[in-house]
């Protein structure tokens, strides 16, 4: 799975789910349900103690699942998860050594940013998509829309505060994709293995992305 495929798949779906869990089994379950629901993308946060092990297991089980590691804070972690099978790296802020390592290994990387200055800096350093985090406190969809006016060439993944009420507006404002955690993968749904509930949420978010894109094309 090459970098071009990873970027194209995330852009196509418009959704980058994040499993920020504390139990390995819940991350595996999240991958299984999302994959079956038509979202073959998952970010496994490094806050999971055995994140690298889980990524390695999932990469072997689902060869066409676009797996990434989130909250990657240094080159050592980046190297560890890439060796395990991660095909994209992301951080809540801009970590130069992570971006540099990803570029060296030809791995997709999404550094975090919140201000226009940070977005430009992360983009010029080599970020493929820039993860705007946390979007809600940065100004929500109004900020995204304003940011895209002078910087239309920079693709943004919007995370932090994305839910069923805001997802449509973020895509309509110009976001390439939305990063969704607990709103798509509720803790109790993962704990209780509620397949149908997560599948229904996946369906809703996919519809929101597609509906917003259709409106953009019409307008």
- Known catalytic residues are 43, 131
Q: Which token pair is 162?
A: 């994305």
Percent helix, percent strand, percent coil in the chain, to nearest 5: 50, 15, 35
Measured in degrees and rounded to the nearest 5, phi and psi for residue 46 equal -70, -5
Distance in angstroms (rounded) separating the CA atoms of residues 81 and 29: 19
**Whole-number CA gyration radius for the chain:** 16
CA gap 212, 48 in Å, rounded: 33
Q: Cα 23 to chain center, whole Å?
A: 20
Geometric angle at alpha carbon 94, from 34 and 162, rounded to 5°: 40
Closest listed residue to residue 18, CA positions, set 136, 129, 159: 159
Do the Cβ atoms of 20 and 42 come closer than 8 Å?
A: no
Give ∠ CA 80-34-217 in degrees, rounded to 5.
105
């Amino acid at each position: 799975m090459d970098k071009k495929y990873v970027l194209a798949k995330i852009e196509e779906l418009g959704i980058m789910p994040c499993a920020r869990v504390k139990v390995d089994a819940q991350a595996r379950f999240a991958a299984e349900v999302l994959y079956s629901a038509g979202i073959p993308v998952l970010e496994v946060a490094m806050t999971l103690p055995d994140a690298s092990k889980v990524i390695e297991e999932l990469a072997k089980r689902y060869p066409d699942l676009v797996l990434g590691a989130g909250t990657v804070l240094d080159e050592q972690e980046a190297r560890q998860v890439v060796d395990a099978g991660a095909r994209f790296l992301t951080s809540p802020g801009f970590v130069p050594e992570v971006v540099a390592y990803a570029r060296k290994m030809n791995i997709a990387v999404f550094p975090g940013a919140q201000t226009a200055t940070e977005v430009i800096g992360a983009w010029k350093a080599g970020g493929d998509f820039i993860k705007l985090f946390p979007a809600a406190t940065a100004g929500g969809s109004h900020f995204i829309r304003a940011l895209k006016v002078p910087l239309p060439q920079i693709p943004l993944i919007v995370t932090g505060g994305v839910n069923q009420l805001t997802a449509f507006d973020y895509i309509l404002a110009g976001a390439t994709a939305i990063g969704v955690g607990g709103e798509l993968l509720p803790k109790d749904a993962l704990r209780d293995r509620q397949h149908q509930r997560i599948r229904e949420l996946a369906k809703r978010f996919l519809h929101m992305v597609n509906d917003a894109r259709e409106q953009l094309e019409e307008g």
